[in-house]
Amino acid sequence: MASELRHTPLRDEHLRLGAKLVPFAGFEMPIQYSTGITAEHRAVRTTCGLFDVSHMGEFVLRGPQALELVQRVTVNDASRVEIGQAQYSAMCREDGGMLDDLLVYRFREQWMLVVNAANLERDLAWVSSHAEGLEVTVDDRSDAVALIAVQGPRAREVMSSVTDAPVDGIGYYRFIEDEVAGTDAVISATGYTGEDGFELYLEAEAAPAVWRALLEVSETASASPCGLGARDSLRLEMGYPLYGNDLDEEHTPLEAGLGWMTKLDKGDFVGRGALVHQKEEGVERRLVGLVLRDRGFPRPGYEVFSEGRLVGQVTSGVLSPSLGMGIAMAYVPTAVASPGSELAVEIRGKRLPAAVVRPPFYKKGSIRR
C-alpha cells in the first residue's frame, strides 16, 4: 500500500513541482512532472535535467581489509581503483548469477558501494556475511545520504552556478569532495543518461536546499526536474542495463555483455569458478540491442522470434524520443546474437522485423570519457 512506501528527502519538492508519484523499488518516486516524459528526456539531451535518485543505497566500508572485502564480493578489480575514482562492477552468487550491479568508490580512508534500492537489504546482508572474519566494518548510510543527478550538455554550467569547486576538471568516473550550494558533497562525474553530468552525494537534510538551488540558477543555465520515465528512456538509448529488467540472478555478467568488467584473473571472488567454467564452455545466450525496422513500441515481456521460432523476450524497450524508432534489449541464443542478425518482435499480434545492433542506440551524447 502507498502508506508503506518509503520517501526520499525530496518528496515535498516533487509535490511542490506537481510531480506524478508512483511506487518504485519500495519508494514513492516521481515518474514525471507536468511537462511530460518526452520533454524531460529532450531537456537532458539538449540542456540539463535534474533527477532525485536518493532511493539508491550506500554502504561505507572501513578498516584495513576493506579492499579485500570489495574484491571478494565484486567481479571487477577494485585494486586498480585510485583514490578519487569510481568503478562500475557487479556482485554475483556462487553460480555466477548477478545479485546486483553497483558503483564502487575509493576514498582515502574508506570505500563506498552504491547499490540498487530494490536490492538494498539483500545486498547489505550479502556484503556483511562476507565481511565476517575480516577487519572491516560495513555501515549502511542509505537513509542518511541523498543523491541528486545533474545531467546534460550544460550540466557543468549549471554546477558552476552553485559551487566554486573545479567541476570542469573532474574526469569521467572521478570525484571530489567540496561544497555545493553551501553544503558538503561528493561530486562524482558519473550518470545514467549518456550525457555529461554529475551525481551529488550529500546529507539527507541538506538535499531540499541544494535541489532548489539547482533549479533556481540563471535562465541561461537552467535545469529541468526529471522523473523515472525520462531516466529509463535515456538509459535505454545508451544501452545501459537496468537491474530487475536486463540484469538478474538468472543471468551472468558474461551473458549480459559485461565481460569487460569481469576480471577473472584478479584472484578469487564469489562466483568466479562458475564464470570461468561458463567462459570456457561458451556463453549460450547474450543480451543484445534490437532496433525495429517498422514503427512500434517494444515493451518488456514481448516475445522475440528468429525465423518463426521463439528465441527470447524483450527485457527493456521504448519508442526512442531521440531516434523516433522502437529500441529494445533481449536475451537471445548466441547463434542469432551477432550485430546484423534479423529477428522479429511480436507487438499486438504482429511480428515486426528487428535487427540486432551493438549499443549505444543513441551516439550523440555529450558524455566526457
| pLDDT value at residue 1 | 41
| pLDDT value at residue 313 | 98
* 331 and 353, same domain (yes or no): yes
| Residues 151 and 49: beta-carbon distance below 8 Å | yes
Give the pLDDT band of residue 368 (cuts 50, 70, 90): confident
In a domain, 158, yes or no: yes
| pLDDT value at residue 218 | 58
Give the pLDDT band of residue 175 (cuts 50, 70, 90): very high
What's 67's domain CATH number? Answer: 3.30.70.1400
* 128 and 160, same domain (yes or no): no
| pLDDT value at residue 74 | 98
| CA atoms 146, 42, 223, 13: torsion sign | negative
* 158 and 121, same domain (yes or no): no
What's 168's domain CATH number? Answer: 3.30.1360.120
| pLDDT value at residue 221 | 72
* 194 and 341, same domain (yes or no): no
C-alpha cell at 202: 550529500
Rounded Cα–Cα distance for residues 173 and 179 (Å)? 19
* 48 and 65, same domain (yes or no): no
* 220 and 93, same domain (yes or no): no
pLDDT at 2 over 50: no
* 208 and 313, same domain (yes or no): no
pLDDT at 130 over 60: yes
How confident is the model over 341-352, as a mean pLDDT? 97
Rounded Cα–Cα distance for residues 105 and 84 (Å)? 7
- How many domains in the chain? 3
* 152 and 288, same domain (yes or no): no
Domain that holds residue 112: 57-138
How confident is the model over 202-206, as a mean pLDDT? 98
| Residues 243 and 287: beta-carbon distance below 8 Å | no
* 48 and 147, same domain (yes or no): yes
In a domain, 190, yes or no: yes
The structure's pTM equals 0.96
| pLDDT value at residue 369 | 84
Question: In sequence order, what E strands does the chain have?
Answer: 20-24, 27-32, 49-52, 57-62, 85-92, 98-106, 111-115, 137-140, 145-151, 175-180, 183-188, 197-203, 224-226, 285-292, 303-306, 309-319, 326-333, 342-347, 350-357
Rounded Cα–Cα distance for residues 197 and 204 (Å)? 21
| pLDDT value at residue 332 | 98
* 39 and 64, same domain (yes or no): no
Q: What is the pLDDT of residues 257-316, one digit of tens each?
A: 999 999 999 999 999 999 999 999 999 999 999 999 999 999 999 999 999 999 999 999
**Domain edge (last residue) among 138, 156, 186:** 138
* 129 and 104, same domain (yes or no): yes
What single DSSP character describes residue 220?
G
Q: What is the pLDDT of residues 249-268, one digit of tens each?
A: 999 999 999 999 999 999 99
Indicate the SS3 state at residue 3.
helix
pLDDT at 43 over 50: yes
On average, the pLDDT of the chain sits at 96
pLDDT at 348 over 80: yes
